[in-house]
Amino acid sequence: MTASFLEAYPTDSDWIGWLKRELAPTRVRKIRTAILVVGVVLCVIISMALQVPELAVTSYMVFFISKESKTLTKTTGLGGLIGVTIAIFGSLLLYKFTYDYPELRIPGIAVALFLGMWLSRILVIGPIGFIIGFLIAYSQSVAEQAPSPELLVRALLWVWVALAYGVAVIVVLTSLFLPDSAEGAEHGPKPKSLLKPDAFTNPRHIQFALKVTLGAMFCYIFYSAIDWSGIHTALITCTFIALESTEATLYKGTLRIVGCLIGGGLALFSIVFLIPHMETIVSLVLLVACVAAIAGWVAAGSQRISYAGLQIAFAFFISVFQGYAPDTDLDKARDRVVGILFGLIVTGFVFKYIWPEGAQIEPRPQ
């Protein structure tokens, strides 16, 4: 677990002072926030003009790939594209055996989740393993919602496009405008192997993968059984907040719920009071830019609060971007927030009572 998580809570209980310090302006923070805002605005304009689906995914990738330096952003973007491409190909191949066969699809989701979470622990470039496992599992989990195999394949390929060009936008903007002074001391010794030294000897790697799989599959089976697919964000939450230690996972879950409530609240306000009066893309762009600025300012902070910024963006984008025209449907926003909260409860229970894991030196970057 990182020092950022170990030192996350203020030791003197001065929460207001701690929050002020975490939100204090710096030159690099202003530039990173501006880059995030411009990136999201460009994605909105491109997707709306060309009618590229999955705008929420594209916009969130701008936040997800953005890092503290040019080098780290490029590396994360390249690794993300490799992982996404492998995952899309793997999921298309798996559809041949699992489409219309839930008795095969459900075990397939579980196996993909387990392998992805296990690889995220044993690989030096763990995020690639995470992306592959998560995308294969998630794409399989929504297969039954597609009316035909052709439309399912088409939708999955569009997901690749949405992810790829979102990554390209933020990598280009970061390369052009983030100052070299933001690089920092990140060039340590290069690893000699793709695997960590304890990849096959540490039982906690398998235990971690089993815990994440258990939580995510419980959520998937639960919302499928009650026919409430709108809370599918529960499965996403279980996979995205999982870290090595119980304390880090619970703290990351706290950041997710805070960010979700803020982003969901902004989305609710926008859907009720602003979006019904919007007639042009200009008004939508202004709204998105304002929210992206708030989320970006938090996301550009230290690791103690940056994840909350990503969740503000995620909750807002996934609630507001529901098509190419203004949509005032509150049910989708409600369902997605409920799903996040449900996923947090399940993950917290699993990590607290099943093989609870203490703090470790090396983090799983994500």
347 assigned to some structural domain: yes
pLDDT at 206 over 60: yes
317-322 — which CB contacts under 8 Å span 24+ positions? 317/55, 317/56, 317/59, 317/60, 318/56, 318/60, 318/233, 319/263, 319/264, 319/267, 319/268, 319/271, 320/56, 320/267, 320/270, 320/271, 320/275, 320/287, 320/288, 321/55, 321/56, 321/59
20 assigned to some structural domain: no
Q: Which helix H or strand E contains 276, and what residues bound it? A: none
- In this structure, the number of other CB atoms found within 10 A of the CB of residue 104 comes to 14
In the block, tokens 């411009």 appear at: 38
Specify the higher pLDDT residue, 363 or 26: 26
252 assigned to some structural domain: yes
360 assigned to some structural domain: no
Phi-psi region of 100 (alpha: psi -120 to 50; beta: other; left: phi over 0): left
- In this structure, the number of other CB atoms found within 10 A of the CB of residue 105 comes to 19
- CA–CA distance, 181 with 159 (Å, rounded to integer): 35
pLDDT at 224 over 70: yes
Tens-place pLDDT, residues 239-288? 887 877 777 877 888 888 899 889 989 988 998 899 888 888 899 999 99
240 assigned to some structural domain: yes
- pLDDT band at residue 1 using 50, 70 and 90 as cut-offs: very low
- The dihedrals phi and psi of 293, each to the nearest 5 degrees, come to -65, -40
Give the chain's domain count: 1
**Confidence at residue 10, expressed as pLDDT on a 0 to 100 scale:** 59
Instruction: Report CA 184 to chain centroid distance, whole Å.
Output: 25
1 assigned to some structural domain: no
pLDDT at 121 over 60: yes
Tens-place pLDDT, residues 142-188? 887 778 888 888 989 998 999 999 999 999 999 999 988 777 545 55
pLDDT at 86 over 70: yes
- In this structure, the number of other CB atoms found within 10 A of the CB of residue 289 comes to 15
16 assigned to some structural domain: no
Alpha carbon separation from 225 to 219, 222, 233, 302, 326 (Å, rounded)? 10, 5, 16, 40, 32
- The dihedrals phi and psi of 214, each to the nearest 5 degrees, come to -60, -50
214 assigned to some structural domain: yes
Residue 175 domain boundaries: 27-182+203-353
CA atoms within 13 A on the CB side of 219: 34
Which two structure tokens, joined as six digits, stand for 237?
């939450």
